Each structure stands twice: as C-alpha cells, then as structure tokens.
Amino acid sequence: MSAAWYLARGTGVVSLVLLTIVVAVGVATRSGRPAFGLPRFAVTAVHRNASLLAVVLLAIHVGTLLIDPYARLRLIDVVLPFIGNYRPLWQGLGTLALDLVIALVVTSLLRHRIGLRGWRAVHWLAYAAWPVAFLHGLGTGTDAGQLWLRGTAVLCAATVLAALVWRLSTRVPALSTVDGRR
Ligand code: HEM
C-alpha cells in the first residue's frame, strides 16, 4: 500500500469530522445566540473556516485517490456518481456528497448575487450531504471495521443528532434577523 492510499483514507476521516463540525456549528449559527461560549460572529467564523478546511481536505482525499492505483479512480468518478470501478455504490455516495458540498460552497461564495432565498434553498442540502458522506465513509472505508473509526462515526452521528434535536426543539429566529439582511 502506498503513502497516497493512507493519506487518502486519513483525509477522508478528517473530512467527515470537519463536515460534522460544520453542520453542528452551522445549526448553532442559525440560533442567533452565542454558542459554545463564543460570540455570534466567532461561531460564524468557525462555521465558514471549517467548511473551507473541509474542502481543502476533500481535495486532498480525491487528489490522492486519483494518484493511487488501488481504487482505479478516473476524473469522471469525481463528478458523476455511481459509475466507478471500485465499490460503485459506496464510492458514488462520496461523489454525491462532494457534489452537494461544492454546490453549498459555491452558492455561499455567490450569496450576495443569488440572494438570501436562493442561497437558503441550496443550503438545506447540507442536511442531505452529511448522511450521504457518512454512509460513504462507513460503506467503503477499509477502516470501517476498526474500533477507532466506528467510535469516530458514533461521535460524529451523536453530534449531528444533538444539533438536529436542538434545532427542532428551539424556535430559531427568522433568517433576516440572524443575518442582518433582508
Ligand atoms: C464529502 C465527501 C467525502 C467524505 C466526507 C469522504 C469520507 C471518506 C471516509 C471517512 C473514508 C474512509 C477512510 C478509511 O477507511 O480510513 C473514505 C474512503 C474513501 N473514499 Fe471518500 N469521502 C468523500 C468523497 C469521496 C469522493 C468524491 C470519492 C471518489 C470519487 C471518494 C472515494 C473514496 C475511496 C475510494 C475511499 C477508500 C475506500 C477504502 O478504504 O477501501 N470519497 N472517504
């Protein structure tokens, strides 16, 4: 096994952890209140920076998989899901998650152009991207049988679940109030 293969797996796991943080902190951002003992602007900054870091880690995840011969990854597999040579279903979920993440990042960068409603409609996809990425990691991961990865997965799932429960049990303010825009 080459160094690229290990790096690909490692960055896959870190990406999943980062996406978990992004989702949980994103939900906290929407509350419009201080969270984790941080003022609101700091929570937003964590959300934004963790997303960008996740994108960098995902680029390394996919880039190293393209270099390493084991998964026989082609450029088209990075964009189009479920047509891969290697575990097409589980790998395809990774591609789907990446497509969703890219849509989220691009619309966030263009937020001032597409308007709050359009941005928000796409941002709901975050709730779909996380479980798709989670299933990909557990379904295809060589390390999915290892205790450390299972423990990490349980912690990630518990974090997102806690954020969801909190979101559903709290009245969040209208987006314009949180964001300061209309
Ligand atoms: C949001 C996007 C993604 C996340 C969070 C993610 C996460 C993960 C995780 C956690 C693993 C398991 C690593 C291990 O077992 O140690 C993994 C493995 C893998 N991922 Fe991804 N991944 C994503 C996107 C992709 C994409 C776009 C592709 C390729 C098109 C891909 C291909 C693979 C492959 C080939 C493996 C290795 C499977 C193995 O260990 O046998 N992933 N990924």
Distance 45 CA to ligand 1 centre (A): 26
* Cβ contact 70:7 at 8 Å: no
Binding site membership of 57 for ligand 1 (Cβ less than 6 Å): no
- Under the banding of pLDDT at 50, 70 and 90, the label for residue 174 is low
Ligand 1: residue whose CA is nearest its atom 24: 94
What would the mean pLDDT of 77-94 be, rounded to a whole number? 96
Distance 18 CA to ligand 1 centre (A): 14
Binding site membership of 92 for ligand 1 (Cβ less than 6 Å): no
Q: With 60 as the cut, is the pLDDT of residue 42 above it?
A: yes
Structure tokens at 146: 């290892």
**CA-CA-CA-CA dihedral for 94, 80, 59, 107, to nearest 10:** -100
pLDDT at 173: 65
pLDDT at 36: 72
Lowest mean pLDDT among 42-51, 115-124, 166-175: 166-175
What residues make up the domain containing 175? 3-179
CA 112/CA 127 separation, integer angstroms: 22
* 143 DSSP 8-state letter: G
- Under the banding of pLDDT at 50, 70 and 90, the label for residue 39 is confident
Distance 151 CA to ligand 1 centre (A): 17
Binding site membership of 130 for ligand 1 (Cβ less than 6 Å): no
Pocket test for ligand 1, best of 52, 100, 140, 160 (most atoms within 8 A of CB): 140
Q: What percent of the chain has pLDDT over 70?
A: 91
Distance 50 CA to ligand 1 centre (A): 18
- Under the banding of pLDDT at 50, 70 and 90, the label for residue 175 is low
Residue type, 104: L
**pLDDT per position as a tens digit, 97-150:** 999 999 999 999 999 999 999 999 999 999 999 999 999 999 998 999 999 999
Q: With 50 as the cut, is the pLDDT of residue 181 above it?
A: no
Tally of structural domains, the chain: 1
